[in-house]
Amino acid sequence: MGRGGQTMTDIALHIENLSFAYGAKKALDQVGFTVRSGECTILLGPNGAGKSTLFSLITRLYDARDGRIELCGFDIKRQSLKALANLGVVFQQTTLDPDLSVTQNLRYHAALHGMGRKAADNRIREELERLDMFERRGEKVRQLNGGHKRRVEIARALLHKPKLLLLDEPTVGLDMPSRQAIVDHVHALVKQQDLAVLWATHLIDEIADDDSLIVLHKGQIKADGKLADVLQTTECSNAGQVFQKFTQGGGPS
Ligand SMILES: Nc1ncnc2c1ncn2[C@@H]1O[C@H](COP(=O)(O)OP(=O)(O)OP(=O)(O)O)[C@@H](O)[C@H]1O
């Protein structure tokens, strides 16, 4: 199912015929989809569906022999630097240094992206203010709660103004208000900054009505489109039913 009506320049991520195996174990099988600017695409799949493997391929932690991944039109193998400059990532496990302050963590990341100190500090302020975290910039990361750590990780992923933000189950282990704050913030970014987001989750309640939905199960894409279109095509009344239909009882939370 297509999500037509937009131009090629809106395409932040394009994947074609992507397959990957760990030895004999097939983790992704002929996966293909597109993520566009101004769109939050939820990648829904039960444990073992292949979500982390897909993210590892997009970030080039692993290389796939079969298939093609393009970021903003750049092939990630042939034009790696240009492609990856468009990418911001929040991994499932936190990667902040707990003994550094919020600002120190962010400056370190900005330096890795070649940003000068002044430009970095301006961007750090912008992103932390947007997340209501600027007042806490001097605190050591280990003093922050899980929700605030996640906010810092989102700020960090956006410092270099990527076109595509990958989020790998960013709300796991957070309480309800912290989860909601992150869901709301990311959806606001998509609308206000025209950001493209690919959000891996197994939590149905993180899907908003105007999100796009990809259902991944056992390495294969089972549904792909705007939520409303997927519901119509599958004759389901909500995303939970879609998930059940394609994953046969491997229920979401
Ligand atoms: N390093 C590895 N070696 C062998 N098999 C692996 C490895 N990593 C993942 N797998 C297998 O590949 C498949 C896809 O796993 P993957 O971690 O990508 O799924 P996932 O959707 O991210 O699951 P989860 O939500 O549990 O993280 C699973 O069957 C898993 O057991």
Shared domain for 131 and 245, answered yes or no, is no
Alpha helices in the chain (DSSP H): 51-58, 80-84, 102-112, 117-130, 146-158, 176-193, 227-234, 239-247
User: Given CA atoms 251, 166, 109, 127 in this order, what sign does their dihedral have?
Assistant: negative
Same domain, yes or no, for 26 and 135?
no
d(CA 150, CA 169): 11
Residues 15 and 107 both lie in one domain: no
Structure confidence by residue, pLDDT tens digits, 146-201: 999 999 999 999 999 999 999 999 988 889 998 999 999 999 999 998 999 999 99
Boundary (domain end) residue, out of 141, 161, 181: 161
- The finding on whether 50 has its CB within 6 A of some atom of ligand 1 is yes
Which atom of ligand 1 is the closest one to the Cα of 216?
A: 21
Q: Examine the domain organization and report whether 114 and 153 are in the same domain.
A: yes
Instruction: Using alpha carbons, select from 3, 168, 199, 200 the residue that is nearest to residue 90.
Output: 168
3-state secondary structure at position 25: strand
Domain limit, last residue, from 120, 135, 161 = 161
pTM score: 0.91
What three-state secondary structure class fits 66?
strand
Q: Count of CB atoms within 10 A of residue 147's CB?
A: 17
Tens digits of per-residue pLDDT, 229-239?
999 999 999 99
Tens-digit pLDDT profile for residues 19-52: 999 999 999 999 999 999 999 999 999 889 999 9
Same domain, 71 and 6: yes
Q: Is residue 49 in contact with ligand 1, taking CB distance under 6 Å?
A: yes
Q: Which domain holds residue 45?
A: 1-86+162-253
Mean pLDDT for 75-86 is 94
Tokens of 32: 């293909």
Same domain, residue pair 3 and 123: no
pLDDT of res. 247: 87
Identify the CA nearest to 207 among candidates 236, 218, 64, 192.
Answer: 236
φ/ψ of 219, rounded to 5, equals 80, 5
Among 20, 31, 51, name the best residue to mutate to test ligand 1's pocket (greatest count of ligand atoms within 8 A of Cβ): 51
Determine contact, residues 76/58, Cβ cutoff 8 Å: yes
